[in-house]
């Protein structure tokens, strides 16, 4: 059964110019922090490293296709790919399995290219990991629709997936959080939570997006875990030891421990 190391919301900019608009997000320090995290990973020896999105801090105007700084999209895309390549090379250097899902500050197509269109279902250390690439609706509330909803329904009901599962996604299901005028949880989150608990298949839902972080435990011991954002000091991350029938431990770490 797996030990999982989880970090989220790093908001890296290195080849891209500038930094995140929120000065607490230390975008330009992230390459150095990844180096420090690697040495912690070597000591903690997880079976898999998980990153649940906002790898990068791509400006909204660039994601919308109209860069506000007047430089071309082609130049931005090259820089975005180079920034994803930092992660790719860092993950590969760990020499253990890794999984990631894009967030709303990532360029999904660039992510897909750099990580070679990764599979959404992966069996690691006796557990089936599902990666959901969801997106925000026009009201900026997360939604699971289309192919992602089909995958989710299959995970919970199809005979071929009758196995203990961990779900990875950028957005959260529980607890529901309304802040800054936004709903951070999915549209229909209460039904999603209920259907997961009814299935009895899911041991942990690992997500990001809401930077303060959270940890909730539902029926059957199913945890919904969101570590605080890695981009902000003290650069937190979590480690889970997960057994076949449930989560054995959740431990919080940071780079200043």
Instruction: State which residue, 9 or 79, has the beta carbon closest to Fe ion.
Output: 9
Instruction: State which residue, 46 or 53, has the beta carbon closest to Fe ion.
Output: 53
Instruction: State which residue, 2 or 184, has the beta carbon closest to Fe ion.
Output: 184
Contact by Cβ (8 Å): 235, 256: yes
Residue 231 beta carbon to Fe ion: minimum distance, rounded to whole angstroms: 7
CB atoms near residue 67 (< 10 Å): 15
241 burial (CB, 10 Å; 0-12 / 13-18 / 19+) is: middle
CA triple 53-58-60, angle to 5 deg: 110
Q: How far apart are CA 57 and CA 211, in angstroms?
A: 13
Instruction: State which residue, 9 or 174, has the beta carbon closest to Fe ion.
Output: 9
Contact by Cβ (8 Å): 41, 32: no
Residue 248 beta carbon to Fe ion: minimum distance, rounded to whole angstroms: 28
Q: Which residue is nearest to Fe ion (CB)?
A: 54
28 burial (CB, 10 Å; 0-12 / 13-18 / 19+) is: middle
DSSP-derived pairing of the beta strands 48-51 and 3-7: parallel
Instruction: State which residue, 104 or 165, has the beta carbon closest to Fe ion.
Output: 104
Residue 201 beta carbon to Fe ion: minimum distance, rounded to whole angstroms: 28
What is the CB-side half-sphere exposure of residue 23 using CA atoms within 13 A?
Answer: 0
Residue 54 beta carbon to Fe ion: minimum distance, rounded to whole angstroms: 4
The residue ranges that bind Fe ion (CB under 5 A) are 9, 54
Residue 172 beta carbon to Fe ion: minimum distance, rounded to whole angstroms: 12
Residue 33 beta carbon to Fe ion: minimum distance, rounded to whole angstroms: 15
Instruction: State which residue, 182 or 195, has the beta carbon closest to Fe ion.
Output: 182
């Amino acid at each position: 059964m797996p030990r999982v190391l989880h970090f989220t919301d790093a908001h890296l900019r290195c080849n891209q110019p500038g930094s995140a608009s929120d000065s607490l997000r230390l975008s330009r320090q992230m390459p150095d922090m990844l180096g420090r995290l690697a040495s912690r990973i070597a000591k903690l020896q997880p079976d898999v490293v998980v990153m649940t999105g906002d790898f990068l801090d791509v400006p909204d105007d660039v994601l919308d296709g109209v860069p506000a700084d007047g430089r071309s999209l082609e130049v931005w895309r090259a820089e975005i790919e180079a920034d994803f390549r930092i992660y790719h090379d860092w993950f590969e250097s760990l020499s253990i399995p890794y999984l990631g899902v894009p967030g709303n500050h990532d360029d999904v197509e660039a992510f897909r290219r750099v990580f070679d269109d990764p599979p959404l279902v992966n069996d690691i250390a006796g557990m089936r990991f599902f990666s959901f690439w969801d997106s925000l609706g026009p009201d900026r509330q997360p939604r699971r629709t289309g192919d992602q909803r089909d995958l989710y329904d299959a995970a919970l009901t199809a005979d071929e997936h009758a196995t203990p599962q961990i779900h990875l996604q950028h957005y959260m299901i529980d607890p529901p959080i309304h802040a800054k005028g936004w709903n951070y949880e999915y549209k229909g989150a209460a039904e999603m939570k209920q259907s997961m608990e009814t299935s009895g298949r899911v041991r942990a839902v690992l997500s990001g997006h809401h930077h303060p972080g959270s940890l909730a435990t539902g029926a059957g011991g199913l945890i919904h875990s969101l570590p605080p954002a890695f981009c902000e000091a003290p650069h937190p991350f979590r480690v889970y030891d997960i057994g076949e029938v449930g989560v054995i431990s959740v431990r919080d770490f940071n780079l200043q421990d």
